[in-house]
Amino acid sequence: APVHTDTGAMMYLSNFGWLDPSSKKIGSQSLIDIRKSIQDFQAFAGLNITGELDEETVETMSLPRCGVRDKIG
Amino acid sequence: HDARRRKRYALQGSRWKVKNLTYRIAKYPRLVEVLGRDRVDAEIDEAFAVWQGATDLTFTRKSTGKVHIEIRFENREHGDGDPFDGEGGTLAHAYFPVYGGDAHFDDDEKWTIKTYRGTNLFQVAAHEFGHSLGLSHSDVRDSLMAPFYRGYNPKFKLHSDDVIAIQSLYGKKTTPPPPPPRTPSPARPPNKFPITPAATSPSSGKENSKLCNDPKIDAITTMSDGNTYAFKGSEVYRLTDNGIFFGYPKKIFILFPGLPNDIDGAFTWSNDKTYFFKGSHYWRYTNMTMDASYPKSISDGFSGIPTNIDTAFVWGGNGKIYFFKGDQYWRFDPARTPPVSFGYPKPISNWNDIPNNLDAALKYSNGYTYFFKGNKYWRFNDRSFSIDTADPPFPRAVGSWWYGC
């Protein structure tokens, strides 16, 4: 799913280790968790830490990159 | 990665217990015919050399058999449960040492070598091999181990964050102290050389044996990527501060497609293009790609310059282009009309003890101009317009000072 959609962004965060792995699927993540995951990713990528899927964050998620997870559990 | 923590590298937690690692390209990219198999090999060699330059790790490429790190170009689902996603998005992934260390590249990408177009193979490979060695992603945006692709960089060098990371796993490089560098006497402290990602130790006998036995070269130049290349017969040597870059010499026709063997001279101009001369023609390259409509006749672009030159270089003293042949030299100034002023050629004896019939000449990254003939070289002092005085004096043996003999 394209990252500019919520589902796409959740997939991205999940693929690269930013969502709590204990959650079985994206839908079960509470809003607070997701907000926290977005903040963690924004801090890692050097973005403004808003907790929102703002334009800059979605743009960064669209960049070509390495497939290895950012956060190794 | 804790948001409040200072930005820096991250380790996955495993590393290799051996220092001499082997690798093999088990599956080449679909574009291998376009790129050239040997150029893909050279690009992967250089990606490993990045890490060899900062540690005592060594990397040896094998074409068959079991190796530590296997490299494959695959697309979509390729058997490891981590499918690629077509062009763009994920470019490659690699496994940490505890999981085998292999590296996979998405073969739907347009992999390219030494050009700004497409996806630069060296840059992505050097990153993935960081994972193969135990590095995780860094949140230092400019480091090699940051997860986002940053495009071709002809002047690539490891970020200090990457160096600290890899040395925290495998220690600092402890190879024997390099021979006295060829940089000038303390009177003029040497320029800070760019961190050559290569092994900076003198090369193993293999790479430089030919040059040690017969140090005469055809031409030498520092190209726009900041690296210095010596040309001899059908081969090209990439030089480090103390010897031959790991994995060289390579065939000229592979690295510089379209360029003939046994060239006469070469220089790199302020437009970042490199000009090669042979007989009555010259070739122009951007990095290692020949520009369209070349070769040309020397008279078409370098009017007033003879054919079959001995060497050509940009003099550090005035930034003009000089051509040497036999016992004469010509000064070529593209900004003047005519570019070769009246009164040229002049006798080489004007250059105070620089010999006639030179092999090569170069303005090196330390700002000095060097002249090469047979197994000797001279360093020129631009200010005094004479051969530099130093201990030991010039001429010096080129093999031990330039080729790591």
Percent of chain A residues past pLDDT 90, beyond the cut: 47
Q: Is the peptide bond before B194 cis (omega within 30 degrees of 0)?
A: no
Report whether pLDDT(B284) > 80: yes
Helix, strand, or coil here: B275?
strand
Tell me the pLDDT band of A33, cut-offs 50, 70 and 90. low
Q: Is A46 within 8 Å of B131 when comparing Cβ atoms? A: no
Nearest 5°: phi and psi at B43? -65, -40
Element (H, E) at B20: strand B20-27
Q: Is A70 within 8 Å of B82 when comparing Cβ atoms? A: no
In one-letter notation, the amino acid at residue B43 is E
**Would strands A65-66 and B90-94 be described as parallel, antiparallel, or unpaired?**
parallel
Contacting residues of A for B147, CB less than 8 Å apart = 16, 65-66, 68, 70
Highest mean pLDDT among B1-10, B243-252, B371-380: B371-380
Tell me the pLDDT band of B191, cut-offs 50, 70 and 90. very low
Tell me the pLDDT band of B245, cut-offs 50, 70 and 90. confident
Contact B370/B379 with Cβ under 8 angstroms? yes
Task: Count residue pairs from A and B with Cβ separation < 8 A.
Answer: 69
> Which residue has better confidence, B130 or A24?
B130
Report whether pLDDT(B333) > 70: yes
Q: Is A66 within 8 Å of B137 when comparing Cβ atoms? A: yes
N-to-C CA span, chain B? 46
CA distances from residue B81 to A66, B77, B93 in whole angstroms, order as listed = 16, 7, 12
The stretch B74-91 carries a mean pLDDT of 94
pLDDT at site A4 = 63
Report whether pLDDT(B291) > 60: yes
Element (H, E) at B40: helix B37-52
Long-range contacts of B86-92 (CB under 8 A, 24+ apart): B88/A64, B89/A64, B89/A65, B90/A64, B90/A65, B90/A66, B90/A67, B91/A64, B91/A65, B91/A66, B91/A67, B91/B119, B91/B124, B91/B149, B92/A66, B92/A67, B92/B124, B92/B125, B92/B127, B92/B128
Query: Which residues, numbered 129 to 168 in chain B, qualify as contacts with chain A under a Cβ-Cβ cut-off of 8 Å?
Result: 131, 136-137, 139, 141, 147-149
Question: Each residue of B298-332: pLDDT tens digit?
Answer: 999 999 999 999 999 999 778 899 999 999 999 99
For Cα atoms B348, B370, B238, give the angle at the middle one, nearest 5 degrees. 135
Q: Which residues pair with B105 in a beta bridge?
A: B73, B92
pLDDT at site B190 = 30
pLDDT at site B22 = 96
Show the beta-strand stretches assigned E in B98-163: 103-106, 111-112, 119-120
Report whether pLDDT(A27) > 60: no
> Which residue has better confidence, B243 or B348?
B348
Report whether pLDDT(A7) > 80: no
pLDDT at site B401 = 87
Contact B144/B159 with Cβ under 8 angstroms? yes
Structure tokens at A35: 């907000």
Question: Each residue of B256-270: pLDDT tens digit?
Answer: 989 999 999 999 998
Report whether pLDDT(A20) > 60: yes
Using N-to-C axis directions, what is the helix angle for B121-132 and B37-52, rounded to 10°? 50
pLDDT at site B94 = 98
Contact B111/B149 with Cβ under 8 angstroms? no
Alpha-carbon distance of B25 to B129, in angstroms, equals 13
Report whether pLDDT(B385) > 80: yes
Is A73 within 8 Å of chain B by CB? no
Tell me the pLDDT band of B5, cut-offs 50, 70 and 90. low
Nearest residue of B to residue A43, measured between CA atoms = B3
Q: How many other β-carbons are positioned within 10 Å of the β-carbon of residue B34?
A: 12
Report whether pLDDT(B210) > 50: yes
Contacting residues of B for A64, CB less than 8 Å apart = 88-91, 119, 148-149
**Looking up tokens 């790591």, which residue turns up?**
B404
pLDDT at site B201 = 36
Is B205 within 8 Å of chain A by CB? no
Alpha carbon of residue B74 to chain centroid: 28
Q: Is A45 within 8 Å of B88 when comparing Cβ atoms? A: no
Q: Is B10 within 8 Å of A43 when comparing Cβ atoms? A: no
Helix, strand, or coil here: B130?
helix
Report whether pLDDT(A24) > 60: no
Report whether pLDDT(B342) > 90: no
Is B110 within 8 Å of chain A by CB? no
Alpha carbon of residue B336 to chain centroid: 33
| Of B3, B88, B93, Cβ closest to residue A68 | B93
Alpha-carbon distance of B396 to B195, in angstroms, equals 25
Structure tokens at B223: 């190209």
Structure tokens at B46: 């250089």
Q: Is A67 within 8 Å of B90 when comparing Cβ atoms? A: yes
The stretch B42-57 carries a mean pLDDT of 94
Assign residue B109 a region: left if phi > 0, alpha if psi is -120 to 50, beta otherwise?
beta
ipTM of the complex: 0.88
| Of A64, A68, A71, Cβ closest to residue B88 | A64
Nearest residue to B370 (alpha-carbon basis) of B309, B305, B315: B315
Question: Each residue of B147-179: pLDDT tens digit?
Answer: 999 989 988 999 999 999 999 999 998 864 334
Report whether pLDDT(B2) > 80: no
Q: What number of CA atoms fall less than 13 Å from residue B123's CA on the CB side?
A: 29
Alpha-carbon distance of B310 to B335, in angstroms, equals 24
Sign of CA dihedral B356, B359, B361, B366: negative
Tell me the pLDDT band of B6, cut-offs 50, 70 and 90. low
Q: Is A65 within 8 Å of B12 when comparing Cβ atoms? A: no
Based on the residue annotation, tell me whether B128 is a catalytic residue of this protein: yes
Alpha-carbon distance of B293 to B151, in angstroms, equals 27
Report whether pLDDT(B3) > 70: no
pLDDT at site A72 = 83
| Of A60, A63, A72, Cβ closest to residue B136 | A72
Alpha-carbon distance of B262 to B279, in angstroms, equals 10
Report whether pLDDT(B207) > 70: no
Contact B50/B247 with Cβ under 8 angstroms? no
Nearest 5°: phi and psi at B349? -60, -20
Contacting residues of B for A44, CB less than 8 Å apart = 1, 3, 137, 139
Q: How far is B204 from chain A (nearest CA, A)?
A: 33
Is A31 within 8 Å of chain B by CB? no
Report whether pLDDT(A3) > 60: yes
Nearest residue to B283 (alpha-carbon basis) of B299, B297, B295, B268: B295
